[in-house]
A and B are shown apart, each in its own frame.
Chain A
Amino acid sequence: MSTILETLRLTKGHKKLDFTDIISYVYLCLGLIILFGPIVWLVLSSFKTSGEIAKFPPRLLPYRQETVVVEGYDKPLPLYIITSEDGSTQTLAQVRRVGLEAQMIDPANPDEIIKVNIKQRQPVEYVYFGPENYIEGIESFDFGLYLWNSVVVTITATLLTLLVNSMAAFALSKYKFPGRDAIFVIMISTLMVPLSVVLVPVYLVITTVGWNNNLLGIIIPAAATPTGVFLLRQYMLTIPNELIDAARIDGASEWRIYAQVIVPLAKPALAVLTIFSVMWRWNDFLWPLIVLSRSEFFTLQVGLSSFQGELNVQWNLILAMTVLTLLPITLVFGFLQRYVTTGIATTGMK
């Protein structure tokens, strides 16, 4: 304890850990529990069996019951510790349970059946993080299909977003042409109207185009994000025009100027947009919910939402699937964290 205080003391410029420091750390640790505790709880719960999950009050860690293979019995038998009335204990395997009575055998002496009141037995358990829920979830929920749909949508939509947004941003930042300012103002002004308020007409357009129950219906419409154009344009404005002039003198076509001068220089902004786009597409729910009604086209989010709406909610499987959907976005965040945080801090966008 004193060493912890020692280390904390080193953090401030001055030597003593004062009152406000202690309050700060208490607040931060409380926040840590509230903000991250639920996620830890989700992960721990995702390893529990359905029996364990129904237990109340819940236990922190996932447990499995120890079993033993006894000659003469097909299945492994669950092990219990039996406390006799005189206080002595012994470990027995349960053959079957009849009402309040359990028929037990000693694994070392399997011929003799011992009858025990079920109140006297206590399961022998060990902490176990096994893949069972994950395997069963993947098999019973079409997880692979939804994952495939989500991956296809996220990757193609992000590539398309990067391409069309950077092309538009290039035109809007590096050329003067009649109509440029009008285009820019109209795009920016739609930033303030959320998709959620134009649901019905968007649905009409999608239906007219024939993209209901088609992944194109969620890939294409979201590609022309005004946010992305705005972000890239602001960045490209800072790229000096001399570079473009020099390339033009060297005889480069406009397309080569875009692809080989502007795009490489706009990499930081493109990285930020990539992360945003992956986050948007991967987590997108409302749009896929409207466009996709047949389950073979569901993305992970729509799929997850429909599992939990089913009557017999199998929590152990749903929790495992939830953890799986978290993995990709967590990995992206883990590797590109600096871009995410600085990107948001500088653009004020999510």
Chain B
Amino acid sequence: MSGHARKRTGNVLSEGLGSFYDLIISFTDIPFGVIQRIVGVRGMPYIFVLPNLLIFGIFILFPMLLNFVYAFTGGSAFLPAERPWVGTANFDRLLACENYLEPRTCEEDLFWRSIYNTFSYVVFQVALMVLFSLITALILNRNIKARGFFRSVYFYPVLLSPIVVSLIWKWILQENGLVNGILINLGFDKFPFLVNAQSAQVLVIMISIWAFMGFYMLILLAGLQAIPADLYEAASIDGANPWDSFSKITMPLLMPTMVVVLVLSLIRAVQVFDIVFAFTGGGPGTATLYIVQYIYNYGFSSPNKQFGLAAAASLLMAGVLIVLTIIQLAVRREEN
């Protein structure tokens, strides 16, 4: 098809869609006209906000409030009305510990194990993620040939679903996979990547960085491109070397974006679930059991479901997330 013909088809298509849209508007205008006559112009905003508010209220807000009911009631019943009030017993059980640094001494040892796992995951994952996305953004911000190509390719893994990410890496890291093939060719032995606890923990971090880095790189790149070029020109006229312009111009001006990236990646890291669930399932043993999976296990997959414990754990986690978000909002406000 020639470019001209394609353009014409495009025009016909968009015109067709346009008149279809107009037709829908004309039809829907009739009932909305009736509604407007009943509620008046002042009532219309409530009508506009209503569908969204209904769905939001029933499926987001109400469950959040219901979570409190679950957290303060016990038993294994699913319906809130059938659950006896137990006060803070669920929280007490989660927090009962002889020595908080030693999960084995806690009543809910898996809860504490998952907290420590999540903590070490968050620290390493966020630090490495910010580091690599910053380096990549700085390099892509240079006068690089094929910058658009590199940017798209680096971003591509962000589009993949957690299931696909974990499938790809399982395939590469399996016993007879690509990485072990390379190891054998280089004269090393095969390594059981997903059976070894330490390597599973390291790999979960690496794979999540692989999957998300492009996203933060893009935000940082936008931050870098917002720095006016004449600042650098002025600095170089004044005889500044590259390190000076980096530490005196780039870093201070990029700081607000860095903080946004840091907090966003922190919030995401605390909530890590689906990639790990599909990749290691929390194993081997409890090596990659993180907090959301602990909640999921108690709520959905364990044979004796303990909704109260799951809800209490989720409230504790929500508390941490809210603190992180408030920090982010405060920083954004300062930025503006």
A interface residues (Cβ-Cβ under 8 A, vs B): 7-8, 10-13, 20-21, 24-25, 27-28, 31-32, 34-36, 38-39, 41-42, 45, 54-58, 163-165, 167-168, 170-172, 175, 177, 180, 183, 186-187, 190-194, 196-205, 207, 209, 220-224, 226, 229, 253-256, 258-260, 279, 282-286, 290, 301, 304-305, 308, 315, 318-319, 322, 325-326, 329-330, 333, 337, 340-341, 344-346, 348, 350
Provide the B167-209 mask, 1 if CB < 8 A to any CB of A, else 0: 1111110001110111011000000000000000000000000
In the complex formed, the residue of A with least CB distance to B315 is A197
Contacts of A38 in B (CB 8 A): 168-169, 172, 210
Provide the B66-81 mask, 1 if CB < 8 A to any CB of A, else 0: 1101100000001110
- A35 x B154 contact (CB < 8 A): yes
Interchain CA distance A172-B219 in the complex, whole Å: 27
Distance between A135 CB and nearest chain B CB, rounded to angstroms: 20
Interchain CA distance A223-B274 in the complex, whole Å: 21
Question: Is B159 located at the chain interface by the 8 A CB criterion?
Answer: yes
In the complex formed, the residue of A with least CB distance to B136 is A31
- B299 x A203 contact (CB < 8 A): yes
- B55 x A308 contact (CB < 8 A): no
Instruction: Take A205-B62, A254-B41, A285-B161 as given contacts and tell me if A200 and B311 are in contact as well, using a CB distance cutoff of 8 Å.
Output: yes
Distance between B70 CB and nearest chain A CB, rounded to angstroms: 6
- B171 x A42 contact (CB < 8 A): yes
Contact of A348 among B135, B143, B169, B264 (CB under 8 A): B264
A-B contact pairs, 30 of them (CB 8 A): A24-B144, A25-B144, A27-B135, A28-B144, A36-B153, A39-B157, A54-B176, A57-B185, A58-B176, A165-B52, A167-B52, A168-B52, A190-B61, A192-B322, A197-B67, A197-B292, A197-B314, A198-B67, A201-B62, A201-B63, A204-B80, A205-B66, A207-B78, A223-B55, A226-B56, A255-B36, A259-B25, A285-B278, A330-B159, A341-B155
Tell me whether chain A's interface is mostly helix, strand or loop, or mixed. Answer: helix
Distance between A38 CB and nearest chain B CB, rounded to angstroms: 5
Distance between A300 CB and nearest chain B CB, rounded to angstroms: 8
B interface residues (Cβ-Cβ under 8 A, vs A): 25, 28-29, 32-33, 36, 41-42, 44-46, 48-49, 51-56, 58-64, 66-67, 69-70, 78-80, 135-136, 139-140, 142-145, 150-164, 167-172, 176-178, 180-182, 184-185, 210, 213-215, 218-219, 221-222, 242, 260, 264, 267, 271, 273-274, 278, 292, 295-296, 299-300, 307, 310-311, 314-315, 317-318, 321-322, 324-325
Contacts of A25 in B (CB 8 A): 144
- A27 x B139 contact (CB < 8 A): yes
Interchain CA distance A322-B218 in the complex, whole Å: 26
Instruction: Take A36-B153, A200-B70, A326-B164 as given contacts and tell me if A171 and B46 are in contact as well, using a CB distance cutoff of 8 Å.
Output: yes
- A8 x B52 contact (CB < 8 A): no
Tell me whether chain B's interface is mostly helix, strand or loop, or mixed. Answer: helix
Contact of B181 among A58, A193, A301 (CB under 8 A): A58
In the complex formed, the residue of A with least CB distance to B154 is A35
- A344 x B215 contact (CB < 8 A): yes
Interchain CA distance A325-B317 in the complex, whole Å: 33
- B321 x A193 contact (CB < 8 A): yes
Instruction: Take A11-B144, A167-B48 as given contacts and tell me if A205 and B159 are in contact as well, using a CB distance cutoff of 8 Å.
Output: no
- A200 x B299 contact (CB < 8 A): yes
Distance between B235 CB and nearest chain A CB, rounded to angstroms: 16
Given contacts A13-B143, A197-B292, A201-B70, 8 further A-B contacts (CB under 8 A): A35-B214, A172-B49, A193-B321, A197-B314, A199-B295, A253-B29, A286-B273, A344-B219
Contacts of A255 in B (CB 8 A): 25, 28-29, 32-33, 36
Total A-B pairs, Cβ < 8 A: 278
- A177 x B176 contact (CB < 8 A): no
What are the 4 closest A-B residue pairs judged by CB atoms, nearest first? A57-B181, A345-B222, A283-B161, A221-B59
Distance between A182 CB and nearest chain B CB, rounded to angstroms: 11
Contacts of A325 in B (CB 8 A): 161, 164
- B156 x A39 contact (CB < 8 A): yes
In the complex formed, the residue of B with least CB distance to A27 is B139
Interchain CA distance A194-B321 in the complex, whole Å: 9
Contacts of A326 in B (CB 8 A): 160, 164
Distance between A163 CB and nearest chain B CB, rounded to angstroms: 8
In the complex formed, the residue of A with least CB distance to B162 is A285
Interchain CA distance A12-B44 in the complex, whole Å: 57
- A196 x B271 contact (CB < 8 A): yes
- A171 x B32 contact (CB < 8 A): no
Interchain CA distance A317-B244 in the complex, whole Å: 55
Distance between B148 CB and nearest chain A CB, rounded to angstroms: 9
Interchain CA distance A329-B219 in the complex, whole Å: 21
Distance between A76 CB and nearest chain B CB, rounded to angstroms: 28
- B64 x A254 contact (CB < 8 A): no
- A58 x B178 contact (CB < 8 A): yes
- B55 x A220 contact (CB < 8 A): yes
Instruction: Take A167-B51, A224-B56, A254-B32 as given contacts and tell me if A192 and B156 are in contact as well, using a CB distance cutoff of 8 Å.
Output: no
Contacts of A256 in B (CB 8 A): 25, 29
Interchain CA distance A168-B53 in the complex, whole Å: 8
Interchain CA distance A322-B278 in the complex, whole Å: 14
Interchain CA distance A202-B55 in the complex, whole Å: 12
